[in-house]
Amino acid sequence: MSDEISTHSAWIPATEMTIYFANQNMASLTEYFASRTFIDIDLSKVCEIDCAGLQLLLFAKREAESQGKPFCVSKLGPIGESVFSLLKFDAQMQTVGGATTSVGFGSK
């Protein structure tokens, strides 16, 4: 049972999803992908997102699709909500689960 729980825990990036943390976030995301069957991203503690952070999210979505893994952004903090709303990114990520707390898609 503990293996099942560990394969469904969320990836939590550094508090900044910026160019300055791109290598760190990419390394931890790559490690996360290798050990998970469901890709769940928790952005609730992120305090800054720039284009590098958005590119990382798009990469994660594309990579999940190519591996046939369900993908979602399960939690957004205030910065994530603001950025997703401003850029209509929630529509790109197919908002599900109500409000702005969960965005993503499942593989079909």
Per the structure block, which two tokens stand in for 8?
């469904």
pTM of the model: 0.78
The whole-angstrom separation of Cα 60 and Cα 79 is 19
Can you give the pLDDT at residue 107?
Answer: 38
Q: Which residue has the tokens 């990114």?
A: 89
C-alpha–C-alpha distance, residues 32 and 51, integer Å: 21
3-state class of 26 per DSSP?
helix
Read off the pLDDT of residues 30-56 as tens digits, 9 standing for 90 and up. 999 999 999 999 999 999 999 999 999
Per the structure, the count of domains in the chain is 1
Q: How far apart are CA 4 and CA 65, in angstroms?
A: 21
**Domain range for residue 8?**
2-105
| CATH number for the domain that contains residue 93 | 3.30.750.24
Q: Mind listing the pLDDT tens digit for each residue in 75-91? A: 899 999 999 888 888 76
DSSP 56-74: HHHHHHHHHHHHT--EEEE
